[in-house]
Amino acid sequence: MADAEAASSSSDHQEIQEVEDKTDEFAEPESKRRKVLKRTDGNPEKLEQRLGGILCCAVCLDLPKAAVYQCTNGHLMCAGCFTHVLADARLRDEIATCPNCRIEISKTSASRNLAVEKAVSELPSECQFCGKEFPRNTLERHEESLCEERITNCKYSRIGCPWRGPFHEESSHEATCTHPHRSGAEVMDALQDIDQKREEEKRLYDSIFDLLSCEKISFQDLQMKPYRTDEFVHKLFYETSRFSALNNQWVVKARINNSQRDPTQSSERDMTYQLILKTKTACPLTTHFLILRGPFGDMKVSPKIHKFEFTDQENESPYVQLPLPDTAECNRLLAAKAINFRLIMFVMSK
C-alpha cells in the first residue's frame, strides 16, 4: 500500500512539472517583459517626441515647417517633398504615387491637413543658437530678433569689419571696434563692393526705362505646357503655343538642366528658355526680351534682360537662364500642369 501511494505521488509531481515546463516554454523572456512595461533607461518618452514620430513627413522623416499634404489614405508629406515627388514623376513621365502606399497622388487628389499643420506648429523645437525649446510657431521670431545667442554682424560691417558673433557680445565689440577710426583710404575697398552691387541694380533699371522708350513694345501672357522629345530616351521640355507679337509669330521653349539625360539623378535643378521666331523676316530684328511673373502666374523669378538679333538664318535665340531662386521653385513649377508667365519684348528701331 505504501509503495502504491509513493508511485501515485511521484506521478502527480511529474504531471505538475510538465505543466510548468510548458508554461515556461511560451512565457516571454524577462528582458522583453521589461521593455514592454517600461523603458530600460527609466525615463518615459515624452508625448512631444511620440507625436513628432507620428506627424513627420513620409519622405524626409522630418517635421513639416509649413504646409502638410496627405494622400487619400492619410499619409503625410511636407510641401517640399510633395512637389519633389510630383516633379520627379513629371521628369520620368510617370504617374506620381505616395511613397508609403503607392496610391496615385496629384495636386487635385492630395489635400492639405490643417489639423496636422496646427499640431506641428505647437510642438517644441530647439533654437539653433541657444538650444532652448520653443513652440515652432514662435521659433522663427525668437531666432531672428529675440535670442541673445543669435549670430549678428558688427554695425560697421559695411565699411569692412569682419566680426560675427553672439548678439549679447555685439555692444562690447562695437565699443572697441577699430573700423570707425580708420581712414577713408582704408575703407575704400568695402565701399567699392557696395557701389558695384548698387551699380548693377541701377544698370538693370536704367535698361528697362530705356527700353520703354522703344517704338515697338509687346507683352504677352503665355502658358508653357510639358512635352516629350522623339528621342530614344524621351526628354521633358516645355513649349508655348504660337503667339503673335511685333507683326510676327513666336514660340517660347524651355528645358530642364540643359537637357540632362536624367534630371532625377541631380539634386540641383534649373530651367533655361529660348525665344523662337516662326515667321520669315525681311530685315534683322534686334530684340530685347525678359520673363516676369505676370498676373496669371506665381513664378518667383528675378527680371533679367536678354538681347538677340533674329534673322532668316538665325531664328532661335540661345538658351538663357530662367532666373529662379532655387531648386525648390523649379520643382514647384514642374509639379504644376502648366507654367504661366508674362513675356515682354522690345524691338530697337534702325
Q: How confident is the model at residue 197 (pLDDT cuts 50, 70, 90)?
A: confident
pLDDT at 26: 46
Amino acid identity of 121?
S
Give domain status of residue 131, yes or no. no
Q: How confident is the model at residue 37 (pLDDT cuts 50, 70, 90)?
A: very low
Query: 12 or 123: which carries more pLDDT confidence?
Result: 123
The rounded radius of gyration (Å) of the Cα atoms in the chain is 33
Among 225, 227, 248, 251, which Cα is nearest to 338's?
225
Q: How confident is the model at residue 23 (pLDDT cuts 50, 70, 90)?
A: very low
CATH number at residue 109: 3.30.40.10
Query: 117 or 25: which carries more pLDDT confidence?
Result: 117
- Enter the C-alpha cell of residue 127: 533654437
Mean pLDDT along residues 311-325: 94
Q: What does pLDDT average to over the chain?
A: 85
The lowest-confidence range among 83-92, 95-104, 128-137, 191-200 is 191-200
Give domain status of residue 132, yes or no. no
- Tell me the per-residue pLDDT of 268-304, one tens digit each, with 9 for 90 and over: 999 999 999 999 988 899 999 999 998 998 999 998 9
- Domain count along the chain: 2
DSSP 317-328: PPPEE---S-HH
Distance CA 10, CA 306 (A): 103
What DSSP element (H or E) covers 251? strand 248-256
Residue position matching grid coordinates 531672428: 144
Same domain flag for 106 and 215: no
pLDDT at 189: 77
What DSSP element (H or E) covers 285? strand 285-292
Domain boundary at 107, 124, 141, which? 124
Domain boundary at 106, 124, 142, which? 124
- Tell me the per-residue pLDDT of 220-238, one tens digit each, with 9 for 90 and over: 999 999 999 887 778 899 9
Alpha helices by DSSP H, the chain: 2-26, 30-37, 47-55, 79-92, 114-122, 136-141, 170-176, 188-211, 327-335
pLDDT at 5: 53
The lowest-confidence range among 12-21, 85-94, 312-321, 334-343 is 12-21
Distance CA 2, CA 8 (A): 10
Q: What is the DSSP letter of 134?
A: E
Mean pLDDT along residues 43-66: 83
- Enter the C-alpha cell of residue 264: 532625377
CATH number at residue 269: 2.60.210
Domain, as residue range, for 88: 47-124
Mean pLDDT along residues 253-272: 88
pLDDT over 80 at 201, yes or no: yes
pLDDT over 90 at 165, yes or no: yes
Same domain flag for 228 and 342: yes
Residue position matching grid coordinates 534682360: 305
Distance CA 272, CA 209 (A): 25
pLDDT over 90 at 7, yes or no: no
3-state secondary structure of 97: strand
Q: How confident is the model at residue 6 (pLDDT cuts 50, 70, 90)?
A: low
Give domain status of residue 221, yes or no. yes
pLDDT at 105: 94
Same domain flag for 84 and 215: no
Distance CA 214, CA 202 (A): 19
pLDDT over 50 at 36, yes or no: no
Domain boundary at 96, 124, 152, which? 124
Q: How confident is the model at residue 143 (pLDDT cuts 50, 70, 90)?
A: very high
Give domain status of residue 230, yes or no. yes
Distance CA 162, CA 185 (A): 17
pLDDT at 166: 93
Q: How confident is the model at residue 264 (pLDDT cuts 50, 70, 90)?
A: confident
Distance CA 243, CA 252 (A): 9
pLDDT at 322: 95
Amino acid identity of 52?
G
Distance CA 140, CA 58 (A): 24
Pair 347, 246: CB distance under 8 Å: yes
